[in-house]
Amino acid sequence: MTTLVQFNEIEKGIGMITLNRAEAANALSLQLLKELNEMLQSVGKNRAIRVVLIMGSGEKSFCAGADLKERKNMNEQEVRETVRLIGSIVNQVEALPQPVIAVINGVAFGGGLELALACDFRIAATNAKMGLTEVSLGIIPGAGGTQRLPRLIGIGKAKELIYTAKRISAAEALDINLINAMYEKEILLEKAVEFAREIAKNAPLSLIQAKIAINKGVEVDLTTGLKIEELAYNELLHTEDRMEGLIAFQEKRQPQYQGR
């Protein structure tokens, strides 16, 4: 059986998760979801991996969303369970301790864009297209799209994209801050890895706590958010990496962080 989700450490500290259904636009079939679930659990526990990239195989698609051919044969209960499963896995992506970069190398529609929205960063090819297209199919985004998109680009623009089911270009996505950067497809992965390198050179425990502080803090009032930040900061006070950072600064050299 073909492995539908692949992982490789493309260089020290940087891991790549690849959705491997290019012939089906990397759509989220039940088997792919099962494999992705297992992969995310494994990667999340791997402290040697400091930054995670997620990309689709082939040259046309990041992820076209749910496998609608498969869903056509499901009853109502099966659809409900599948949507819940997709939502759970998208939440797992957001909850990964490492920073996660979506490398949008082609179309990202529906659940595919919802998967990208759960990542910390989105970098797209100039020819990429994306959109939450569910209302054109008689449903709504069901894996966090109605919640994460407004938080990212504002409620007015999010409603516009969701209500119209509009498919936008990478240039449009960049203009509304839906993506962080855009590159020609030939250099997209190279640029994504360069960005990952800039992140991975920093203290891994600090990256984890910064992600917690930002993701948790943005959901609460400022006073509570500041307390979350304080608690996250305090988690780092006893670490070897904190001392290494201070010593390296004094010695005017690059720190060698070990994640301890």
Active site residues: 66, 111, 114, 134
Q: Which of 19, 18, 57, 16 is nearest to 196 (CA)?
A: 16
Show the tokens assigned to 14. Answer: 């940087």
E strand or H helix at 19 = strand 14-19
- Which tokens sit at 136? 């054109």
DSSP-derived pairing of the beta strands 5-11 and 181-183: unpaired
Please name every residue paired with 17 in a beta bridge, in sequence order, or none if there are none: 7, 54
Per DSSP, what are the bridge partners of residue 55? Answer: 18, 103
Show the tokens assigned to 143: 């894996």
- Among 188, 216, 214, which Cα is nearest to 180's? 188
Question: Kindly report the CA angle at 206 between 203 and 210, in degrees rounded to 5?
Answer: 140
Distance of CA 9 to the CA centre of its chain: 17
List all residues 6 or more positions away from 95 whose beta carbon is below 8 Å from its beta carbon.
44
